[in-house]
């Protein structure tokens, strides 16, 4: 699906757009395109790929771009409109509050930009304004415009958030200034392969790359397990290259490779009772995760 967005279309959409209740950021499969122009423009892609549980909290796993280590984990407290980041590396257990979409105009927020091109402690920013603007679906979503407070000696540039999207800089830099000729600027955002945000100033169109491949590659894979039976079966696995079982700590317990078979079985009888994750890897190294309870 190809998306062409014209200024005139946005003007027409803006007239008929209506405001929505809070739009969660992590309620779908997400994909972001991030464009940087130095000597020609380059667009990188990052996306959520699977779920995990750490310290009793549910997280989405970031992958692609600077996140190929799969140690950047996002979680959303929907009732309180907050998004957190945890970096799952040895000896590092801090969780960062990245976004608070419950803020009101005039509120102060301390920006944290962990492991990004911007200062990790970005200092205090003031929320100058909240403006509802239409996105690709024609509905209006809140845009948050921040500037450093007068006493902020760390950051000097403004920041912009969009409800349901995150920062117009990279996702882990809520205090990052979006500049396509410097660090970069968000150009596209997708939810379940559908375009949600688009900025076509420096690119021609928004087409999902990873999620579209994943959708057609592994969408038919299903997992089943009968009660009182310790065998777990994955079906429709012709496009699956391998499956790995992980425990809640993220430790890989077993891996099976697949050579075109349409089903893969795991015997879980030796495992303790509890929750496990099965991660299926398809062609192009696309992945899909499943939860299974023994």
Across the chain, mean pLDDT equals 85
pLDDT at 11: 35
Quickly list DSSP for 83-129. Answer: EEEEE-BTTB--EEEEEETT--TT-EEEEE-TTSSS-SEEEEEEEEE
Please name each of the domains of the chain with its CATH number: 7-210 (no CATH), 220-293 (2.60.40.3080)
pLDDT at 17: 44
Tokens of 81: 């409109």
213 phi/psi in degrees, rounded to 5: -65, -45
Average the pLDDT over 17-40 and give the result: 82
Contacts of 239 (CB under 8 A, 6+ apart): 217, 218, 221, 282, 283
d(CA 5, CA 222): 36
Average the pLDDT over 218-237 and give the result: 84
d(CA 27, CA 51): 12
Look at the block and give the residue holding tokens 């200024």: 7
pLDDT in tens, 155-201: 999 999 999 999 999 999 999 999 988 899 999 999 988 899 998 88
- Is the pTM higher than 0.75? The answer reads no
Tokens of 198: 């688009």
pLDDT at 252: 85
Least confident stretch, 6-20, 23-37, 149-163: 6-20
pLDDT at 248: 76
pLDDT at 90: 63
161 phi/psi in degrees, rounded to 5: -115, 155
pLDDT at 162: 97
Tokens of 5: 């967005």
Examine the pLDDT at 26 and tell me if it is beyond 70.
yes
Average the pLDDT over 131-157 and give the result: 95
Examine the pLDDT at 286 and tell me if it is beyond 60.
yes
pLDDT in tens, 76-135: 999 999 999 999 876 667 899 999 999 999 999 999 999 999 999 999 999 999 999 999
pLDDT band with cut points at 50, 70 and 90 for residue 5:
very low
d(CA 59, CA 50): 9
């Amino acid at each position: 699906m190809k998306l062409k967005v014209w200024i005139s279309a946005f003007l027409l959409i803006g007239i008929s757009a209506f405001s929505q209740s809070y739009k969660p950021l992590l309620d779908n499969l997400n994909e972001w395109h991030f464009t940087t122009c130095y000597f020609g423009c380059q667009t990188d892609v990052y996306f959520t790929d699977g779920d995990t549980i750490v310290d009793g909290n549910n997280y989405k796993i970031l992958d692609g771009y600077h996140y190929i280590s799969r140690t950047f984990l996002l979680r959303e407290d929907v009732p309180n409109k907050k998004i957190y980041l945890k970096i799952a590396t040895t000896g590092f257990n801090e969780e960062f509050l990245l976004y608070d979409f419950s803020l009101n105009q005039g509120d102060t927020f301390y920006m944290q930009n962990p492991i990004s091109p911007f200062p990790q402690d970005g200092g205090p920013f003031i929320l100058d304004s909240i403006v509802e603007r239409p996105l690709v679906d024609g509905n209006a979503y809140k845009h948050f415009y921040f500037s450093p407070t007068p006493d902020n000696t760390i950051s000097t540039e403004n920041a912009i958030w969009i409800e349901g999207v995150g920062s117009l800089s990279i996702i882990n830099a809520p205090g990052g200034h979006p500049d396509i000729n410097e660090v970069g600027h968000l150009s596209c955002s997708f939810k379940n392969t559908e375009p949600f945000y688009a900025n076509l100033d420096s690119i021609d169109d928004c087409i999902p790359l990873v999620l579209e491949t994943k959708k057609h590659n592994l969408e038919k894979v299903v997992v089943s397990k009968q009660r009182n039976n310790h065998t777990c079966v994955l079906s429709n696995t012709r496009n699956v290259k391998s499956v790995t079982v992980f425990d809640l700590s993220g430790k890989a317990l077993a891996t099976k490779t697949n050579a075109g078979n349409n089903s893969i079985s795991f015997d879980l009888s030796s495992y303790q009772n509890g929750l496990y994750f099965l991660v299926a890897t398809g062609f192009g190294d696309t992945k899909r995760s499943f939860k299974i309870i023994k």
